Structure formats: C-alpha cells, structure tokens
Amino acid sequence: MIKAKINNIDIEVPEGTTILDAARKVQVKIPTLCKHKDLLPTAACGLCIVKLKNSPKLPRACATPIENGMEITTHDSELFEVRKSVLELILSNHPNECVTCGRNGTCELQDLAADFSIREDKIKRFVRDIPIDNSNGSIVIDFRKCVKCGRCIEVCQDIQNVWALSFLERGINTRMAPAGDISLKDSPCVKCGQCSAHCPTGAIIENDETETVWKALRDENKYCTVQIAPSVRVALGEAFGYPPGTNLTKKIYTAMRRLGFKAVFDTNFSADLTIMEEASEFVERFAHGKGALPLITSCCPAWTDFMEKMHPDFIDNFSSAKSPQQMLGVMAKTYFAEKMKIDPAKIYQVSIMPCTAKKYELERTDEMHASGFMDVDVALTTRELARMIKQSGVDFNELPDGEPDSILGEYTGAGTIFGATGGVMEAAIRTAYNFVTGKNMPAFNVEAVRGMKGVKEAELEVAGHKIRVAVAHGLANVEHVLNKVREAKKAGKELPYHFIEVMACPGGCIGGGGQPYGTDDDLRMKRAKGLYNEDGEMKIRCSHDNPEIKRIYADFLGKPLSGKAHDLLHTHYKARPIYQR
C-alpha cells in the first residue's frame, strides 16, 4: 500500500494507483479530457496536471502512479490558470459550432469550457478544413472537431482490434484518419460505434436519422411500427435523469404511441424467436451431427462484419438465424400484416437499437428483404430516440405505463437478457436443454457466462452430454477463442467449445455504441443488472415457453428450421475484403 497526501487529506491506496484514481477515492475530481475509464492514459491533453511538494514539475495525474510520501495539490489558482490556458489552446483549434453540433449538451469539451468560465476567444482560432466523412451510414466523422485525445484510436485498435482508425503524421500536423487516409466505407470499420461512444467531442457521432423517422410518422399513407431492443429499456432513462439500469419498458411503450407509432413491438419477443431457431440449430449440430461445430452466434452485425472480413474460415460455424431486429421486421411485414389485414407495403418499421451497426444490418444481404420489402426501414440508436422524445414534447418522466401490441410483443426473461454479454448463450442453453431432454432446467441462471470478464468459459451437463461454451465481448477478445478452436482442429484434437457467443461491444448491447454517453464498467454492470433483475422476476423465463412464440409457430411458421422459417428467418455469410482500397 502507498501512503500519500492529496490536498492534505491522508490516503492509502494500492501500488500502481494513478494520482487521478487516488484523488477520486477521496472525492477530489481532477479535470480530464483525454482520459477515459475504459482506456489506458494517452496523456495527450495536459488538463489533469497537479503539483507535487518540493518538485517544480507538473505531472499528469492520469498517467502518474502515486508514490509513498507524495504531497499532491490538485487545485490552486496557478493550476486553474494553467488548465484554463490549455483549454483555450484546445478551443483555438476547435470550430465554434456548439449550437449546431451533434454533441451539444453532451460534450466533454463544452462542459469543461463552461466549468472554467471561458467567455471569450483569447487565441486566434485556426481550424484545419477537412471534409466530413459520412460514407458508411452508421457513424459520421467531423475531423475538424477532433481534439486528438486518441480515445477512438485506442478503442478501435486495442479494444476492437479492427484498426480502422489511426493517427497520421506527427507534431502539430497529427490527425486522426481511417486506415491510411481513405474513407471509412473503404476501411475495415465494422460500424460498432465504440469510437463514437468514447469520443469526448462531436468529432464522431452516430448518423442521425431522426428526421427520416419524423417524416414517416407524419406521412398518412404509412403505417409506422416500432420495436425496442432489450438493452434500450435499461439505458434510455439516463437521458432523462433516471439512475442507470432503471427498467423503463412500459414507459417506453407509452412514449412510442405518443410519438405516433401505430403498433409497438418488442425486440425481446423476436429474441425469443431467434433462440428457437438458434437452439434448434445447435441441437441439430450437436446431437445429430448436422453442420459445423462450434456453433457461433450471429445476432451482432458488427461481429458478423468482423468475422466476414477477418475470420472467414469460420463462416460455416455461424448460426444462420437472423438477428432479433431482422426477425421482428420480417414478422411485422408478413404475419402481423396478414393478421391485421394491413398492406405490408404501407408498413414502415423502425427499430430502436443500442447500436450503430444495426443501421448497416438493414441492408446487409438480400435476405434482409425477405418480406418482399425492406424488413426494417430505419434503425435509430438509443441516443436518437432520447432526442426524438425530447423534441416531441412528451414529458417522459411523468408518462403512465403502457402495453405492447399483443402479437410480436410478449416476451420472456430469456429475451430480455439478450442485451447483456452472455445473455444469448444463457437463453439458448435454457431452450437447448429443453429440446434435448424434454424438460426445463432445474435452475435457469447460468452464472458462469454472466459478468464483465472479457472471455467467459463454462462446461454444462445436459442429459449426460458435456457442452463446452465460451462467451467473448469486445472484438479483441475473439481472437483468443477462435485460435483455440483453430489449434484443436489442426491438431485433430477434441474441440475446446461447442457453442460460442460473441458481442462486439464490451458488455454486449448494454454497452453498445449507440447508448447514452459516459459508458464505463460501472454503468455496464448497472444496466446488465437491470436486465437480469427483470429476468429473475419473470414468470416465464424460457423462449420456448412464450405463448406467442408457440402461437406463431402453430399459426404461421410450422416448426423451427422449417422451410418457411428458413425463407424468412435465416441468412448467409460471405468473405469480404478487409480494405476496399
């Protein structure tokens, strides 16, 4: 343990703790811009400088481990002035466009400028003129607003191992750019949006499609329907002052109707549907030897894009079941349309997702038009929905609870936990167990696959069979799991896993690239807890026990993996080049 003083307060912290973290422990907040809790310090901005007794240096608190006997001052008038000058310098290279910026009100740089009472431009502004990159439809980069903190690059290279972004040149000319100065569309980018979730400014934001949705809602010839993804319900509240993890499902239903949607569906329902198909696929492959093992989940479009680009040797292992978003879309424009006698051409399906890659998924392959139309017309992120609600004049916090539509709305605990890392695996196990044994599991919780550990492994007993599973989140964690499989295959050894779940974003969808800002592990855990709590409280906790799921198979689809299910609910994958140029 290290003993030191911060602002004359005695502290004792483990060795290796940075001054920044030590200060947090005694309720002292040192201002930061480049440092993010998920990431190693880049020490790029210089805002977190502090004073040490008997030393002329001003070390950066985010990157300096605290030492025994240090006497640290974090705030005095001199530090204030230096920090203010640093900020003024940063602002002098930043466009003065706050009111028209996508991060207006959520920007870390703007907050700092406000806190430091910056009231004038002291230094003549110079902003390099670089055109906006909106080439990939999911995220939009405005390089002029970049403060060169390096967060997006660290996320894209180290957490996601995609390497779509990097710094080019050096010194004052340093700039962030996709893979050697090409457009994002031509780069390896998998659209996960983690860069946008970590950027402190408006330099990287989601592609805002709220205007498109408003237009559709105002169009009398359209029948607008909506679906809400599992993880949205426990994160949206943050934009309205609720504690992270508060489950607002029923308020969101009401808000959707107030916005003008004629039918409100729940992606949790189609998560149950995905599980029916995917668990059946697993049983086919595991018990009947039909198809490659390990089976790998495919409901995360950033992950499928990553796999198609970097690991195409695993294409045969991918579950062909579509993601819940796409399954709901196709069911809305076929089953629901038929039942309600609505012309499917008129249905305009919007999905509310925690994710920027879901925008890309809408046109991933021709199979995303299985209904004969675009199955889902627009995907909005949680952040976009929050803005729409604010624009609509609906007083969200005071709304009464509502209900979803009676078809494509009812869900189980298994559908809910889809939103957290390990949740798809746990849901699939519950149903696969039943399909193999004919009985439900004695206890549903599969604790081994829950939590924030980067790779989780478990061995489960099902009717005398041992099923080995792995769960990875954060794309950089995938390699390890896939390499184990490759090595075993090469050596002709038994497979290390039978079933693998991957979600691109750390924490899974609850930590998605389109979720409210400020996501770190603490927030991820709170949001995940919101989902697991709901699951724990539900009467029905297995997808195959969902009465509406039973009905949709009886009425419409036949059996899981039937011809009709294949036509509507399944897709395929193909190798894609990593770089378009």
Partner 1 sequence: MSQSSTITPNEKSDIRKEVAQHVSNWKGEEGNLIMILHAIQNQHGYVPREVAMELSREVGVTLGRIYEVLTFYHYFKLVPPGKHNISVCLGTACYLKGAPALINEVKSQLKVEEGGTTEDHEFHLDVVRCIGCCGMAPAMTVDGRTCGKVKPEDISKIIAETKSA
Which residues participate in catalysis according to the annotation? 278, 281, 299, 319, 358, 361, 367, 509
Q: For the CB of residue 168, give the shortest distance to partner 1 in the complex, in Å.
A: 4
400: DSSP letter = P
C-alpha 143/C-alpha 146 separation (Å) is 5
Judge contact between 234 and 247, C-beta under 8 A.
Answer: yes
Q: From ligand SF4, ligand FES, partner 1, none, which one binds at residue 441 (CB under 5 to 8 Å depending on kind)?
A: none
Segment near ligand SF4 (CB under 6 A); pick from 54-62, 142-150, 337-345, 397-405: 142-150
Q: Which is nearer to partner 1, 58 or 182 (CB)?
A: 182
Q: Is 113 in the site for ligand SF4 (CB under 6 A)?
A: no
**Residue 401: phi, psi to the nearest 5?**
-70, 155
Least distance CB 43 / ligand FES (angstroms): 4
Residue 235 engages ligand FES in binding (rule: CB under 6 A) = no
203 is a contact residue toward ligand SF4 (CB under 6 A): yes
By beta-carbon proximity to ligand FES, the closer residue of 50 and 565 is: 50
Three-state secondary-structure class, residue 128: coil
DSSP state of 419: G
Residue 46 in contact with ligand FES, rule: CB under 6 A: yes
Binding site for partner 1 (CB under 8 A): 157, 163-170, 179-182, 188, 579, 581
Closer CB to ligand FES, 90 or 357, in the complex: 90
Location of structure tokens 């729409």: 388
Of 160, 298, 317, 477, the one binding ligand SF4 by CB under 6 A: 160
Beta bridge partners, 205, equal 140
Looking only at the bridges linking them, the beta strands covering 71-73 and 2-6 are parallel
Alpha-carbon gap, residue 8 to 402, rounded angstroms: 53
Q: How far is the CB of 502 from ligand SF4 (least distance, A)?
A: 14
Work out how close the CB of 1 gets to partner 1 at its nearest, in angstroms, rounded to a whole number. Answer: 39
Specify the stretch interacting with ligand SF4 by CB under 6 A; choose among 155-163, 269-277, 429-437, 518-526: 155-163
Q: Which residues of 140-163 are buried (b: 16+ CB within 10 A; e: fewer)?
A: bbbbbbbbbbbbbbbbbbebbbbb
CA–CA separation, 505 vs 302, rounded Å?
9
Minimal CA–CA distance to 8: which of 38, 59, 53? 53
Side chain identity at residue 438, one-letter code: G
Kindly report the number of other CB atoms within 10 A of residue 537's CB atom: 11
Regarding 43 and contact with ligand FES (CB under 6 A), the answer is: yes
Q: 48 near 79, Cβ under 8 Å?
A: no
Measuring CA to CA, which residue among 209, 579, 155, 230 is closest to residue 359?
209
Distant-in-sequence contacts of 6-14, Cβ < 8 A, 24+ apart:
6/72, 6/74, 7/72, 7/73, 7/74, 7/75, 8/71, 11/66, 13/66
> What is the side-by-side order of every strand in the sheet holding 2-6?
9-13, 2-6, 71-73, 51-52
d(CA 266, CA 121): 49
Q: Is 139 in the site for ligand SF4 (CB under 6 A)?
A: yes
Calpha distance 371→362 (Å, rounded): 13
The residue (of 122 and 581) whose beta carbon lies closer to partner 1 is 581
Is residue 424 within 8 A of residue 418, CB to CB? The reply is yes
Range 120-129, long-range pairs (CB < 8 A, 24+ positions): 121/91, 121/92, 121/96, 122/88, 122/92, 123/88, 123/89, 123/91, 123/92, 124/92, 125/91, 125/92, 125/93, 125/94, 125/95, 125/96, 126/92, 126/93, 127/93, 127/94, 127/95, 128/93, 128/175
Binding partner of residue 48 among ligand SF4, partner 1, ligand FES, none, CB cut-off 5 to 8 Å per kind: ligand FES
Question: Which secondary structure element, helix H or strand E, spans residue 347, and what is its range?
Answer: strand 347-353
Q: What is d(CA 331, CA 337) in angstroms, rounded to the nearest whole number? A: 8
CB 76 to ligand SF4: min, Å: 28
Least CB distance to partner 1 at residue 177 (A): 8
Complex with partner 1: residue 114 or 168, whichever CB lies closer: 168
Nearer to ligand FES, 34 or 300 (CB): 34
Rule CB under 6 A: is residue 381 a binding residue for ligand SF4? Answer: no
Query: Residue 44: which of ligand SF4, ligand FES, partner 1, none does it interact with, CB under 5 to 8 A by kind?
Result: ligand FES
Instruction: Between 49 and 164, name the residue whose CB sits nearer to partner 1.
Output: 164
Q: Which of 62, 91, 248, 376 binds ligand FES (CB under 6 A)?
A: 62
CB of 40 to ligand FES, least distance (A): 11
Nearest approach in angstroms of CB 503 to ligand SF4 is 13
Residue 183 or 319: the one with the smaller Cβ distance to ligand SF4 is 183
36 part of the interface to ligand FES, by CB under 6 A? no
Using CB distances below 5 to 8 A depending on partner kind, what does residue 204 bind out of ligand FES, ligand SF4, partner 1, none? ligand SF4
User: Applying CB under 6 A, which of residues 87, 189, 417, 469 lies at the interface with ligand SF4?
Assistant: 189
Contacts with ligand FES, 6-35, as mask; x by CB under 6 A: --------------------------xxxx
Q: Which one, 151 or 473, has the nearer CB to ligand FES?
A: 151
112 vs 195, beta carbon nearer ligand SF4: 195
Residue 164 within binding range of ligand SF4, rule CB under 6 A: yes
Count of residues near ligand SF4 by CB under 6 A: 28
The strand pair at 499-503 and 465-473 is best described as parallel
Instruction: Tell me the three state secondary structure of residue 301.
Output: helix
End-to-end alpha carbon distance in the chain: 52
Does 198 contact ligand FES by CB under 6 A? Answer: no
Q: From ligand SF4, partner 1, ligand FES, none, which one binds at residue 80 (CB under 5 to 8 Å depending on kind)?
A: none
Binding site for ligand SF4 (CB under 6 A): 139, 146-152, 155-156, 160, 162, 164-165, 176, 189-195, 198-201, 203-204
Binding site for ligand FES (CB under 6 A): 32-35, 41, 43-48, 60, 62
